[in-house]
A = this chain, B = another copy of it.
C-alpha cells in the first residue's frame, strides 16, 4: 500500500479508502490509485486486515470425516456459498473425537474466523454458544444446543422407511443403527421404532445392532442380525455405508437380497443406486444442508439478530430394488417396481 500511495501520489489513508470503496474519494485520485493497484499487482494482506478488523473472511468447518461419502456434498454446499461471498473454508476432521473437536475449536478461534460451521462429534461445545462467534450446527443437534442448526427430518424419514417395509409385508425387522450418542442416529432409530409401534410391530432389543456408520461395522452388525432366529426378513440401516456393508454380509451368509432379506437405508448417496440390488433408501439432501447452513451463517455474520433458526430439511423415500414384497403372489419373486 505504501507503494501504491507513492506511485499514485496520495496518502495511505486514501489508498485504503479507495480499496474499500469507503468515503467519496475524488474521481481522478480514485483512478490514479486503481491504476497503481493494478500495475503493482497488489493484493491486500488478509492477516493485517483481519488483525485490524478483529475478524477474517475465514469460515471454519468442522466435520467428522471427509472420507465418509455423505459429507463431501455437505462441504461442497458450504464451499459454493462461501466462495460466492469470497469467504474461505478451513476444513477440520474430528473422527468424532471430542478431544480433536475441542483442539480444532480452539485453534480455529485463533484465526479469528468470521464464523463456524460444525457437524458436532458430541455435545461438547456448550460453552461456545455465548462466545460471540456466529456458529451453526449441521446434521446433528447437540442436546444442550439452543442456537442455529440445520438438520434433516431424521424421524420422519425413518418412519417412511418403516412404513414402506410394513407396506411390503415385513414384520420381523432388524436395525443397524449409528452410534446412539449422535442425535441423528438416535432420531433415526426413534422415528423408525415409533412408526413400527404405531403399526403394532415390535422391535426386540436384540434386533437393534449399534454400528459406527461405516462399511465394516455395518457388515458385522448385519452378520449378528442374520444369526437371529427367526431371521429378520428386512434390515434397516441408518446410513448407506452400513447398508452396503450389510449387503456384503448377506451375500457372505449365502443369502440373497432382496429374496432372502430386504435392505432399506438412509442417505441416498449417488452410489447407492449402483449396488446390486440398487438400494431402496431415504434420501437426505446433503448439498442443500451445507448450502442452507452456509447461507444462515452468512446472515449471522452480516449481523442478523433474529432468534435461533432451526431448519429441518425434508427427506425423500427412493424406492429401488432392495426391498421385496412379502405380500406378492410368489414369495420369492422379483423385487417390486
Contacts and interface: CB of A to CB of B under 8 A. Distances in A.
A335 interface: no
A276 interface: yes
B106 A79 contact: no
Contacts of A73: 67
Contacts of A71: 72
A88 B67 contact: no
A75 to B, nearest CB: 5
Interface in A96-118: 100, 106-112
A48 B51 contact: yes
A276 B275 CA distance: 6
A48 B56 CA distance: 12
A147 interface: no
A112 B49 CA distance: 12
Contacts of A67: 72-73, 76
Interface in A256-274: 270-271, 273-274
Contacts of A66: 66, 72, 75-76, 79
A75 B275 CA distance: 25
Interface string A43-73: 1111110110000101000000111010111
A286 B334 CA distance: 38
Contact of A271 (B69, B90, B107, B112): B69
Nearest to A54: B47
A224 B271 CA distance: 22
Nearest to A248: B274
Contacts of A56: 47
A110 B45 contact: yes
A88 B108 CA distance: 9
Nearest to A214: B270
Nearest to A111: B46
A93 interface: yes
Contacts of A72: 66-67, 69, 71-72
B92 A107 contact: no
Contacts of A255: none
Interface in A71-90: 71-73, 75-76, 79-80, 83, 86, 88-90
28 contacts: A43-B109, A43-B110, A45-B51, A45-B110, A47-B50, A47-B56, A51-B51, A58-B90, A65-B76, A66-B66, A66-B75, A67-B72, A67-B76, A75-B91, A76-B93, A79-B92, A83-B93, A86-B107, A88-B108, A89-B90, A89-B92, A90-B90, A244-B271, A247-B274, A248-B274, A275-B276, A276-B276, A276-B277
Interface of A: 43-48, 50-51, 56, 58, 65-67, 69, 71-73, 75-76, 79-80, 83, 86, 88-93, 100, 106-112, 215, 244, 247-248, 270-271, 273-277
Given A66-B76, A69-B72, A76-B93, 8 more contacts: A43-B107, A47-B47, A51-B51, A58-B90, A66-B75, A69-B69, A79-B93, A89-B92
